[in-house]
Amino acid sequence: MKTVFAASAALAAVLFAGSPASAEITVDSARAILAPFYKALNAEFVKDAPELVRQTTTPDWKTCRGNDACNSRDEVMAGIGQRLKAIPDLKWEMKEVLVAGNHVIVRGEATGTPSGELMGNATNGKSFKLMSIDMHTLEGDKIARTYHVEDWQGAFRQMSTAK
Q: Domain for residue 18, yes or no?
A: no
Dist CA 13 CA 35 (whole Å): 22
The total of structural domains in the chain comes to 1
* pLDDT by position in tens, the chain (length 163): 554 455 455 444 444 444 444 468 999 999 999 999 999 999 999 999 999 999 999 999 999 997 779 999 999 998 888 888 889 999 999 999 999 999 999 999 999 999 877 777 777 788 999 999 999 999 999 999 999 999 988 888 888 865 5
Q: Domain for residue 21, yes or no?
A: no
* Strands 103-112 vs 128-139: parallel, antiparallel or unpaired: antiparallel
The reported pTM is: 0.81
Q: Domain for residue 44, yes or no?
A: yes
CATH number of the domain to which 57 belongs: 3.10.450.50
Q: Is 37 exposed, middle or buried (0-12, 13-18, 19+ CB in 10 A)?
A: buried
